[in-house]
Structure 1
Amino acid sequence: MTSIVIPAHNEGQVIGRLLDALLTGSDPGEVDIVVVCNGCTDDTAQVAALRGPAVRVLESPVPSKHAALRLGDEHARGFPRLYVDADVVLAGPDVRKLTAPLASAPDGGPADGPAVLATAPERELPMDGCAWRVRAYYRVWQQLPSVREGLFGRGVIAVSAAGYARLAALPPLMADDLAASLAFAPHERLVVRTALVRVLPPRTWADLIRRRIRAATSTTQLEQHQREAAGPDGAEQPAPSARTGKADLVALLRARPGLLPAMAVFLAAAVVARRKSRKAVSSQDFGTWLRDESSRQA
């Protein structure tokens, strides 16, 4: 049985659409869905419970995504296992496409052949209603190699039993999806292009900047953790990174010179976000979650 763990903090506006999509096209007993309402002050739990016995709802007073994921793991029943953000939309048939490459042997180990330990779907970013600068930003962002090949920024990751063991060893980090993606070597992870997740982008420039500040802050935290884990000899073997380098942008512009105006917007967002993240980084504040509300509005 495939288990799906959904951490949800005040997601009453959107949790219903995700659960309806997951249950559509799923056979009875095919998926085990666990919604972990962490520190909710809205009707997230009630909305989720309305979806019937196929959805189990847990409530925790702690508003922590990492704690919610671990609580969900304690109650999840099977593998492969999916971790899904409450504000995306993923359909039942796409769950099957994500779990197919994760076939495991009866003992829980990988099947014969190359071991794919983690998968994620292709992302759909509907831009209707988004400000022009937001659309320009994502025209560039979606073309970056690390964004196209990494498992992060999709709101969904599926793992085998062996892949779960890799994730369970990760510390609590803001950039949990980036850390999860980097925990697997390129041959161990797979973006399943035939599976699709709908990720709602921010609609306003201000909300985009809030997301980018959070990304810049959380990436810095991840890099600090990598340096500490590597120890004094870690410089000899650089840790994997998903940061966008100048070479990536130059190569993209050479291939698609028409992106120049959008590139200017992309760089402006990066500069503003990095500058505004300095306060949080300097105070080591890696717990304040700047949330984009515009993507959660009807």
Structure 2
Amino acid sequence: MTSIVIAAHNEAAVIGRCLDALLADAEPGEFDITVVANGCTDDTAAVAAQRPGVRVIDLEEPDKSRALNAGDDAAVGFPRVYLDADVVLTGAAVRSLAAALESAPAATVGRELDVSGRPLLVKAYYAIHGRLPVLRDGLFGRGVVAVSEKGRARFGRFPDLVADDLYLDSQFSRAEKAHVGGYTSTIATPRRTADLIRRLVRVRGGNTAMRAAAARGEITAGVRAADRSSWLRDVVLPRPWLAPAAACYVVITATAAWSARRAGDGGAAWGRDESSRTS
């Protein structure tokens, strides 16, 4: 039985859509679904509980790593799919992920970036960011990661770190990550430039904290190194027509880096890899 773990913080507006897509064509008992509402001040838990067969755990404090661990403790089967609450994934996609895990320990789907109605600066940023090669072979940036039983045995508890998707990605080599064609997750990009910068500051803090934990030996995963020049070497130079978007990208990443340093969260110089998450 495939187990699906969904950590949800104040996701009442989207969790129903997420669960309905999973359950629409599911056979009885096909999926074991656990929603872990953590620190919610809305009706996330109540909305999830309305769906038949969905296990709901309600944690008082907002803490995604704790929520993932609680979901793992409750889950009963493999493969295991970790799914963000705002991602719509069909039962057919879950079956394809399970099939891919027969020959690989980890798998994910493709991704689409929703930039409709966004400001020009947000669109320009993602015109560069969305083409970074690192996003083609990683497990991050999709809100969907599936692991086999052997893949899950690579690590114990989720560490108390923000960058859970980078942590999962770090457990597997490039050759061990299957990418299922024909299915995508749609990533909602920030609706305002200020929201994008705030999100990048959080991402930088999470990625920096994980790399620091690895350097201290607190986690043993080989964390993906930052590639500070990929945006220029791999994206802009082969596509010179993207130069105006690149200028916006540089300004936004530089602003986020400055804000991260000012906030004291350890953000490094601009260009440090914020691509382990997309939004």
Task: Report the Cα distance in structure 1 between the residues aligned to 2:241 and 2:38, rounded to whole angstroms.
Answer: 44
In the TM superposition, structure 1's runs of 4+ consecutive aligned residues that sit over 3 Å from their partners are none
Task: Report the Cα distance in structure 2 between the residues aligned to 1:153 and 1:14, rounded to whole angstroms.
Answer: 18
Provide, for residues 63-121 of structure 1, a one-character-per-residue CA deviation record: whole Å limited to 9, x for no partner: 11111111111111100000111122211111111111112xxxxxxxxxxx5111111
Any conservation in 1 of the 2:142–2:185 contact (CA below 8 Å)?
Answer: yes
Letter in 1 for 2:110: E
Letter in 2 for 1:218: G
Provide, for residues 153-198 of structure 1, a one-character-per-residue CA deviation record: whole Å limited to 9, x for no partner: 1111000011112243552211110111122111111222322112
Alignment of 1:189 with 2:177, yes or no, is yes
Q: TM-score of the superposition, structure 1-length normalised? A: 0.84
**Unmatched tracts of structure 1, length 5 or more:** 104-114, 284-294
Structure 1 residues 230, 15: CA separation in 2 closer, same or farther (over 3 Å shift)? closer
Structure 1 residues 8, 240: CA separation in 2 closer, same or farther (over 3 Å shift)? closer
Q: 1:50-65 alignment to 2 at 5 Å?
A: 50-53=50-53, 55-65=54-64
Task: Report the Cα distance in structure 2 between the residues aligned to 1:268 and 1:92, rounded to whole angstroms.
Answer: 41
Q: Which is worse superposed, 244-253 or 204-213? A: 244-253
Task: Report the Cα distance in structure 2 between the residues aligned to 1:94 and 1:28, rounded to whole angstroms.
Answer: 17
Displacement of 1:52: 1.7
Structure 1 residues 239, 83: CA separation in 2 closer, same or farther (over 3 Å shift)? closer
Displacement of 1:251: 3.1
Helix, strand or coil for the counterpart of 1:90? coil
Alignment of 1:140 with 2:124, yes or no, is no
Alignment of 1:118 with 2:106, yes or no, is yes
Q: 1:47-126 alignment to 2 at 5 Å?
A: 47-53=47-53, 55-103=54-102, 116-126=104-114
Q: Which residue of 1 aligns with 2:236?
A: 253
Report the structure, 1 or 2, having the larger helix content. 1
Alignment of 1:201 with 2:178, yes or no, is no
Any conservation in 2 of the 1:122–1:192 contact (CA below 8 Å)?
Answer: yes
Letter in 1 for 2:130: Q
Helix, strand or coil for the counterpart of 1:255? coil
**Unmatched tracts of structure 2, length 5 or more:** 268-278
Provide, for residues 5-31 of structure 1, a one-character-per-residue CA deviation record: whole Å limited to 9, x for no partner: 001111111111111111123222111
Task: Report the Cα distance in structure 2 between the residues aligned to 1:67 and 1:276, rounded to whole angstroms.
Answer: 28
Structure 1 residues 242, 151: CA separation in 2 closer, same or farther (over 3 Å shift)? farther
Q: Which residue of 1 aligns with 2:227?
A: 244
Q: TM-score of the superposition, structure 2-length normalised? A: 0.89
Structure 1 residues 239, 57: CA separation in 2 closer, same or farther (over 3 Å shift)? closer
Task: Report the Cα distance in structure 1 between the residues aligned to 2:86 and 2:245, rounded to whole angstroms.
Answer: 26
Displacement of 1:274: 1.1
